[in-house]
Amino acid sequence: MEFGGPCWLIHGSITSRFAIYSIGLATVAYVPYLTWLIWFHPLSRFPVKALHGKYGDVVRWAPNELSFACADAWKDIYDRRKDGKVLTKDPVWYRKDATMRAEHIVNADDPARHAEIHKMMAYAFSAKALLEQEDLILQYTGQLGEAIKEQSARGPINLDAAIWTLPIVPYFQYWLTPKAVREGGARYAMESKEDILRGERDGPKSDRIDFVSYILKKRQELNITDSQLAAHSNALIVAGSETSATVLSGLFFYLCKHPDVYAKRKKEVRSDFTSADEIMAKGAEGLSYLTACTNETFRIYPPIPIAMPRVTPKGSCTITGCFVPEGTVIGVYVWSVTHNPENFNDPDAFHPERWFEKSDNLDASNPFLMGPRMCMGINMTWIEVRVMAAQIAHMFDFELEDKTFD
């Protein structure tokens, strides 16, 4: 092999020396910065490589990021503060790039812009508007029940898979063609966006009002583009389907793992209703033990177990008594705060009774966040989960095929 002779050696030698010199210079320049980050940065008093269970309620897990696992941090970070300071969403995390191409209800980091979008969608997510579409929930619950009945006749079933193949957010039925549960919904999630856009151009298939209807009413007034409409639709599809499916999967798993809890829940549902068809949203609200089981599922198996990051405002602020400099990315790490023994006795145990006893710090569990950026879908999720969980529990008896599964 020919290397290019002596000139190559000279050139290579010079290049190598230059590279080594450059790396050395960069290292010399970077070492003081690392030293400052570790020892002198305003956040240096918080451990860098630590877990909340070992190092406490506040952990510095990145150079400019803090994770909180104490209940009081919820209000300081996410709620309206008495000092009037606003912690905005982290623009790096809630990015508006080629994935979405436009901002939507979830990633809008400007408070004024978010308020505008929130106002546009607020009524669609109200309890009144959702109850007007209760028949869709009942329709899909019926489809899920039929799918379970059909599959169970052939042997053990994967209930988790059955739940996750529910059609994407029932309220998009306005433009989306109904599909049986067994056909699956998640696999055509991206197609749903195009169906919505196509439906808006071709005209509605019925007089039913859904989430997108409220966006379209404001389309001209707010100059909403196709990309923005698609972004809103994508956000609603993901947020509207994943939360309910996750908590339902977790709920039935923990019920099967705890036969005594399952027996109480089944007795409550079957005592209050003579048939599954009687179970409607209003009636399901009165199932207190079901509500406790669901709250416990949200706590022990949160759909979003990580922190929803916020950025501290100009001039710094105080979080649970800790001074935090401006521009710091912070958040309540959901899994840590809901599994913190300072907040919940025996935190890793599934114990629905804690929601009646109230000896624990129940305010530490906030699966829908709080404040002005609280999840708009809270009413929708509760209606879906209560009705579906109650009806399915009334129609079927469940147990784990593999009792050792954990």
pLDDT in tens, 123-141: 778 888 888 778 877 877 7
- Nearest-angstrom CA–CA distance, 225 and 136: 29
Tell me the pTM: 0.78
Give me the residues paired with residue 73 across strands. none
Beta-carbon count within 10 A of 304 CB:
16
- The answer on pLDDT for 284 being more than 90 is yes
Q: How far lies 257's CA from each of 127, 209, 261, 335, in Å?
A: 33, 40, 9, 20
191: three-class secondary structure by DSSP: helix
More confident site: 100 or 328:
328
Give the closest residue to 252 by CA, choosing from 138, 136, 357, 395.
395
Whole-number mean pLDDT of the chain?
Answer: 76
Give me the residues paired with residue 88 across strands. 311
pLDDT at 391 (0 to 100)? 92
Please give the average per-residue pLDDT across 344-353, as a whole number.
96
- The answer on pLDDT for 171 being more than 50 is no
Please give the average per-residue pLDDT across 98-124, as a whole number.
78
311: three-class secondary structure by DSSP: strand
Residue 387's pLDDT band, with cuts at 50, 70 and 90, is very high
Answer CATH for 30-395 from 3.90.79.10, 1.10.630.10, 3.40.1190.20, 3.40.50.300: 1.10.630.10
Share of the chain above pLDDT 90, in %: 34
| Contact call for residues 365 and 296 (beta carbons, < 8 A) | no
Give me the residues paired with residue 323 across strands. 318
- Nearest-angstrom CA–CA distance, 190 and 207: 24
The two structure tokens encoding residue 102: 């436009």
Q: What is the DSSP string of 209-278?
A: --HHHHHHHTHHHHT--HHHHHHHHHHHHHHHHHHHHHHHHHHHHHHHH-HHHHHHHHHHHHHH-SSGGG
Binding site residue list for heme:
375
Domain chopping of the chain, boundaries:
30-395
Give me the residues paired with residue 58 across strands. 68
The size of the chain, in residues, is 406
- Nearest-angstrom CA–CA distance, 40 and 325: 13
Helical ranges in 37-122 per DSSP H: 52-55, 73-78, 111-121
Question: For 40, which DSSP code?
Answer: I
Binding site residue list:
375
Q: Which residues contact 249 (CB under 8 A, 6 or more apart)?
A: 159, 160, 163, 164
The two structure tokens encoding residue 196: 């919505």
The two structure tokens encoding residue 107: 């990633």
pLDDT at 49 (0 to 100)? 37
pLDDT at 258 (0 to 100)? 95
More confident site: 8 or 368:
368
More confident site: 350 or 140:
350
| Contact call for residues 121 and 215 (beta carbons, < 8 A) | yes
| Contact call for residues 290 and 273 (beta carbons, < 8 A) | no
- Nearest-angstrom CA–CA distance, 253 and 400: 8
The two structure tokens encoding residue 287: 């199932």
Please give the average per-residue pLDDT across 224-241, as a whole number.
74
| Contact call for residues 224 and 195 (beta carbons, < 8 A) | no
Give the closest residue to 239 by CA, choosing from 369, 339, 347, 82.
369
- The answer on pLDDT for 209 being more than 70 is no
- The answer on pLDDT for 27 being more than 70 is no
Give the pLDDT confidence of 285-295 residue by residue, as tens digits. Answer: 999 999 999 99
- Nearest-angstrom CA–CA distance, 282 and 289: 15
